[in-house]
Structure 1
Amino acid sequence: MEKHEYQAPGPNDSRSPCPALNSLANHGYLPRNGKNITANQLIEAINEGFNVSKFIAFILSHAGSYLIGKTREGELSLEDLFNDAIEHPVSLTRPDKDLSEDYRKISPELLDSLFSEKNENNKLTRKSFARQFIKRRDQSLRDNSKFHGLSFLQKYQVFGEYSLTLLCFPGSENGRGEEIDVDTLRSIYQFERFPDNWKKSESTIGLSQLHNLVGNIRDMVEDLDKNKPENMNKILK
């Protein structure tokens, strides 16, 4: 087997709520069993697997370890990230923890809802993710009595997840940060597997690039919210 060939996880392997990290384990950038992982291993895997800058990888790795109560030298298992300090409602792939006993499992219904936001070219754009965020947020507000909205930091985390998806996984350099093919995203989000013929970004994905895209998606969400029919009616009254 090649070093980074895909290998499905076994029944005793540990996996997280993050499809990208699970993909790194499934391809051997992280220990394939998903266990006893150090922050430095996370940094190297994120950098090597996706060409995300080591600075971003450092922030993600050490912040994640800190939030779940691991020391700087401590090791974690991917399943440790199913933690209220990191996990959040309004996931694109999994139901809210308070709404389903199967919240750790990928939901085909939620994926179909996301993919329905594709454009005529079978691509999901920045606006597709913004629209899906509003759909999921409103769904959680309606159905989850314990959910009253995301904090500023949680929104940044969520929009950061969308932004890294758009930066890391498009099949061509032209699409990075702009759009991603539905079939490509299904491979990552549903099967946690790098798509066939996929290549990581040729240029290192940096913090300013990520921050700008987060801000752009946030602005799109705010604009879409303002133009929702119920809000337009309030303005016209």
Structure 2
Amino acid sequence: MRKSRRHILLLEDSRDIHVAFAALFQRVYGYVLHSVSSVKDALGVAGRLNVDVAVVDLAYGEEISARLNMIREWRTRSVGFPVIATSAHDYDGLATEAFTAGADDYVRKPFHFGEMAARIERQISRGRNESARLPKLDGIRLPATAFEFAGAVIHPDLRANFPDGTAVQLSAKQVGILQEFARHSGALVLRNDLIHAVWGADANTNSKSLDQYLYVLRRLFRAAGIDLTQHITPVLRVGWRVSGQPTRRAPLLVQR
């Protein structure tokens, strides 16, 4: 296997496997290894870095559902890196669940590290992560194509075009917030979920940064004649209800 600086995310409970992965993949093959032991940490790494492949042990008990849900969330958000699920369970049903959640491969423990190396190389060489993975800026996975929200068209270069002909340059965080709202048209977006999606799984949910970004976004849209409150309605302190209705122009405020 050729030397590489590809990034491997390893979610594993066994210390021995962490040590073995570091010895083989990091020191011998030259991969950059990100070893974690919790779903929260795995989501944090995947949210901050361009991971090339994830190896996820499905563990036991409630952790099985949590880790399957994590894989499912990655696929729902069109995260491009391949996922290899592993497990010491000896029944085939878990393999089916892993593939249904979106895993690309499944390896039953105990596995030979030579075989695992070949499987990792195969997943990376397929080029799925190169074609589907999107660049990140400030921790935000940038959109592959332009998308629309509340009448504005947001482009991959962070430019927003409004119906009145004006255009503004947004920050990566602002685009990340609008992407999440656009993905959940007609649904409820929970505050904590929005913070984790934009700032990472380990972000402080008590921070006021989100409110500050939303304040600026409301002003930008208002300046273009669009009232964002018609599209994202606060629901107590839980989150925001995203409208599925067509854009309605709002009257401009007259500054005195």
TM-score in same-fold range (> 0.5):
no
Bigger radius of gyration among the two: 2
Q: Counting strand residues as a fraction of each chain, which structure ranks higher? A: 2
Q: Higher relative contact order by CA 8 Å / sep ≥ 6: 1 or 2?
A: 1
Normalized against structure 1, the TM-score is what? 0.30
